Structure 1
């Protein structure tokens, strides 16, 4: 099987946990790899970090420029006009990576799916529709693009969900993160939501909270 190319960071001991972390529009798998040394995780969680590279495709809102993207965005109203077929195809590639981790000895219940911005929209789709329980879903500065079409799977009805957003985000307005939180909570999911005084980025205080949350869900 052909998998998405990835940056992989192995733990000191044989991996018993995994985090698949998706970057945003125009970035690549190297974008979040520098965060790994700053995440404080328990020694019992030997985590393999997997940072996939999105394919390079034309992006309409950027004048058709070819760049790494999980799906095309056709209008600045990004929560309404996205190529959901491409998004779903990207989510399926994430599912393939989960299956590869299963083959490498890590059960789905020990795998976290994380994503920033565009990657967060794919993470929602991949995690909430996955047919085996996952360890958690971490969504940063993103939105739920496939609310009308996503097929929620009961296996992950009680998955821990952490949503984080910047209060001054000019790219993905915080109301979109709040809308995603409300949508999934209305369907019975337990969601932890945090907002930070930042724009479309990651801040030190947020990294501390990510460490705390990952320590809990990867225990």
Structure 2
């Protein structure tokens, strides 16, 4: 259900030399990759490759079946909301295909960071915890863990049980509530090493990003992808 538009990507190319790593960043519901390409322009590293895929257009149940860019269907944003299991798994397979291609092109998987905002952050978490590739880490902004009841079993054979995760959330988020983000952090600590999950709170931040969050993301990337 989410597999026909992955060839449409915005890619911010490395300016010089061989990249020391890669960030694949997934936008939120109704958004597109170009907006994050522009939003990260002041925070990007010149020696890291960035890929901003675009989600396919589909009807979204949460928004009265209006069609918009969406990685999978959404029925609600409450902790007990029904989930689009088939769509989530299909979307994750598409992101894994992107990872596979980048590894074939010469970027080691342990130099690849997945990231995303809101629905995109949710997908990045699920993909990272179910892929066979050992990744560098995950940047999860204003999001949740999809199909959380399937974990930790879903990650039983994961090579990412020591995965570093930077989870960021505004304490005034009216969409993906801060309490949901906090519960997600607790759940993640039962799947990967608890000390590897960093949950950062941003005061008075709603369902959006901010300068400090981007700075923290940049620091996190530097730590995971040190210059040789």
For normalisation by structure 1, the TM-score amounts to 0.92
Question: Could you say what the CA RMSD is over the residues aligned between the two structures, in angstroms?
Answer: 1.8
Deviations, residues 32-63 of structure 1 (Å, cap 9, x unaligned): 1013332254x6xx211100100111011211
**What is the match of residue 128 of structure 2?**
127
Do residues 207 (structure 1) and 223 (structure 2) align? no
**What is the match of residue 140 of structure 2?**
139
Deviations, residues 45-104 of structure 1 (Å, cap 9, x unaligned): x21110010011101121110100011112353662221210111111000000110111
CA contact (8 A) 1:8 1:51 kept: yes
**What is the match of residue 172 of structure 2?**
168
Question: C-alpha distance in 1, partners of 2:51/2:168?
Answer: 20
Structure 1 segments (4+ residues) deviating >3 Å: 1-4
Question: C-alpha distance in 1, partners of 2:103/2:24?
Answer: 13
Question: C-alpha distance in 1, partners of 2:183/2:94?
Answer: 26
SS at the partner of 1:38? coil
Do residues 48 (structure 1) and 49 (structure 2) align? yes
Question: C-alpha distance in 2, partners of 1:218/1:122?
Answer: 22
- Deviation, 1:154, is 3.2
SS at the partner of 2:113? strand
Question: C-alpha distance in 2, partners of 1:53/1:154?
Answer: 26
CA contact (8 A) 1:71 1:83 kept: yes
Question: C-alpha distance in 2, partners of 1:104/1:216?
Answer: 23
Question: C-alpha distance in 1, partners of 2:183/2:201?
Answer: 13
Deviations, residues 143-166 of structure 1 (Å, cap 9, x unaligned): 112112252143101111000001
CA contact (8 A) 2:137 2:164 kept: yes
SS at the partner of 1:31? helix
* Closer, same or farther: CA 78–186 of 1 in aligned 2, 3 Å: closer
Do residues 17 (structure 1) and 21 (structure 2) align? yes
Question: C-alpha distance in 1, partners of 2:7/2:128?
Answer: 17
Question: C-alpha distance in 2, partners of 1:133/1:164?
Answer: 22
For normalisation by structure 2, the TM-score amounts to 0.89
Counterparts of 1:54-133 in structure 2 under 5 Å?
54-77=55-78, 80-133=81-134
* Closer, same or farther: CA 9–188 of 1 in aligned 2, 3 Å: closer
Do residues 5 (structure 1) and 4 (structure 2) align? no
| Structure 2 runs not aligned, ≥5 long | none
CA contact (8 A) 1:79 1:144 kept: no
2:198 to 177, 180, 192: 192
